[in-house]
Amino acid sequence: MQRTRWLTWGWVPIWLVLWAWHISSIGHIPVGLFHDEAFNALDALHLPDQGWPVFLPGNFGREPLLVYGMALSMRLFGPTVWSVRLPVALAWGLTIPAFVWLLREMFPDLRQRVLLFAGALVLMTSLWFTITAHYAIRTNVFVLLETLFVAALWRGWRRGDVRWGMVAGIFWGASFYTYLANRLLPFVLLGPLLWLAVKAPRRLRERRAFLAATFFTALLVMLPLLLYFLHHPQEFLLRTSQVALVGGAGQTDGGGRLQGVWRNTGRVLGMFFFTGDRNPRNDIPGRPVFTWWAAPLLLGGIWATWRRRDARGGFLLWWAFVMMWATWLSEYAPHFQRAIGAVPPVMALVGLGTEALVGALAKGWWKRVAPVLILLLVLGEAVQGVVAFRRWAAMPELYYAFDEGLTTVARYVGEMRGDDVVYLTPRDASHPTLRFFLEASGKTGVLRSFDGRHVLVLVPDREARYIVLSREDFRFALMAPWLWPRGGPVEERTFYDRAGEVYARVFRVAAHTPVRSPLWQVRADWEDHIRLLGADPIGCCVYKPGDRIYLQLWWTAVGGTPRRAWTVFTHVVDSTGRVLAGKDCEPGCGSYPTQKWHVGEWVVAEYQIVLPKTMSPGEYTIEVGLYDWRSGRRLPLSHRTDDAVPLGRIRVTTP
């Protein structure tokens, strides 16, 4: 083994090269910022104004340590994709030497050269772990602190050193500010402590001071967060309840829960060599953690633990088992991100298995060949990991998984000059990805949005641009020629996804472009600056029972923006005023509520009224009004005592 001394530090240059490459590429691999990343980035952007909270309640609740790092990074380098992801890339790189330290503390009696080299190399090239270095979520910070905690814990346990217990407690307490999986760490410790209480109570008593220092230091560090949850208990389990099979939201059938857990057992066990995560954000869909030839390395670690009756290997197995609960007991298993806490023990078992196989097979006539073959397996697994990452980075699915299209749209709006009116359909402009890039470019408030499948918005006296996400809004292209019968929207730009399909089109409508007039010229003013310009029942005005009336209502704001979000009601009434049919909803089915209206805009909202199949033939009136859905109070008409306006009459004939 003299010739293998280089293995002790052979992982270092590979680690430095990969770390430098990851840091240099996080700005464009992947290109976009998906919802959760952008949500974190927005919080980081406004963190100084929020008073540095110990918990972030938005987006189902998040621990804040990563967001603190993002805030510092953006303060130093500006609000860019690269600066947003820099903290996770740094945490990824620091985890590798922390992991090596962990192996040195756990296995000081082994030669370690193969153990360290194999474990570190497979960890730093594993797609399971590497992908998380490229998007701004909290998992990497947790893995770093988790690894440091266990390494310091082993060092202090071996030496009985209270000071190292305090160091371990600091890492443990800090991990509670990182990611939800940190709540499983007490269970990681509980198993070994119970085992020691039964098998080695004397050893446990000898380490009482060390354990007390660890627990009380951790408690002191996490105390602000514990106090927060004491005052906000509903937020402690909010995110967990969204995904948990046991006790989760929507899970009411006990038999269904048990079946889900049983089904997940096979999926979680199979994630290592058969079928992995199907979410392209976490994996090449379905790719297992390891290639088939790496099976002897992991299984070798399990075999060595059993053969040696080694408590350290048993601890690694228990650690990995507990950390897999996060995906085993939740939806969409196997979920690599939720199981991220199992990465250090699993990779340690790979290193341990490699060392055990080299030691067991380096005998007889092929003692020089066997170690080389086993190390070639490790190198092959590492090369496959790098190749897999490059495959993942080029996948067309990442365009939608990481909101690359919305990122492109936001950057396009941010680069626009002048004060043109810009509309987006059908996504809401409040989407975190859009908001982050617009705030970063100083274009907050420039982009307006509505759902073109239910409403059209125009500014007759000004030039306007419409960004239409073609895959989601097919109706804008159909309704535009109806709304602008002459000289309507002109396509100005097209955005394509990675598969070459149209993602979005940009249309320009010149100022004073002629707009069609509604069929029913009705003018009515309500309080709170709301005016009705007319209505147009498509297919007017003879219907049969069971028909659907596509009623277009033309609105505008006069003298100011409405102060409240009013709900519009449409009623079909008979001669006695009895309501026979109708449709209530905010304009655009809530996508363009009255509070978002601007003076000078026309809001053409559609309401689909389904006539009853038992409706009697005759003439009926359609009337419209507004009310506050919270209180039921109707909005009065200006300068009138009533609150509803008749639009026109329709006739219902026999079927």
Lowest mean pLDDT among 254-268, 294-308, 556-570: 254-268
How much is the mean pLDDT over the chain? Answer: 92
pLDDT at 240 over 80: no
Region 230-251: what's the mean pLDDT? 71
Q: Is the Cβ–Cβ distance between 112 and 8 less than 8 Å?
A: yes
pLDDT at 263 over 50: yes
At 254, is the pLDDT very low, low, confident or very high (cuts 50, 70, 90)?
A: very low
pLDDT (tens digit, 9 = 90+) per residue, 371-381?
A: 788 889 999 99
pLDDT at 48 over 90: no
Between strands 464-469 and 421-425, the pairing is: parallel
Long-range CB contacts for residues 194-203, cutoff 8 Å, separation at least 24: 195/311
pLDDT at 252 over 60: no
Q: What order of strands is seen across the sheet that includes strand 502-509?
A: 447-449, 421-425, 464-469, 502-509, 490-496
Q: Rounded distance, CA 6 to CA 3, Å?
A: 7
**Topology of the domain covering 524-652:** Immunoglobulin-like (2.60.40)
pLDDT (tens digit, 9 = 90+) per residue, 410-461?
A: 999 999 887 789 999 999 999 999 999 999 998 888 999 999 999 999 999 9
3-state SS, one letter per residue, for 198-267? HHCHHHHHHCHHHHHHHHHHHHHHHHHHHHHHHHCHHHCCHHHHHHECCCCCCCCCHHHHHHHHHHHHHH
pLDDT (tens digit, 9 = 90+) per residue, 609-621?
A: 999 999 999 999 9
Residue 582: CB atoms within 10 Å: 16
pLDDT at 353 over 50: yes
Rounded to two decimals, what is the model's pTM? 0.92
pLDDT of residue 359: 83
Backbone angles phi, psi at 335, to 5 degrees: -115, 105
pLDDT of residue 246: 57
pLDDT (tens digit, 9 = 90+) per residue, 137-194?
A: 999 999 999 999 999 999 999 999 999 999 999 999 999 999 999 999 999 999 999 9
Which tokens is 2 given? 């003299």
Region 631-635: what's the mean pLDDT? 94
At 643, is the pLDDT very low, low, confident or very high (cuts 50, 70, 90)?
A: very high
Q: Is the Cβ–Cβ distance between 647 and 522 less than 8 Å?
A: yes
pLDDT (tens digit, 9 = 90+) per residue, 216-228?
A: 999 999 999 999 9
pLDDT of residue 640: 80
Q: Please give the full DSSP string across 442-482, using - where no structure is assigned.
A: T-TTTEEE--TTTEEEE-TTS-EEEEEETTT--HHHHHHHH
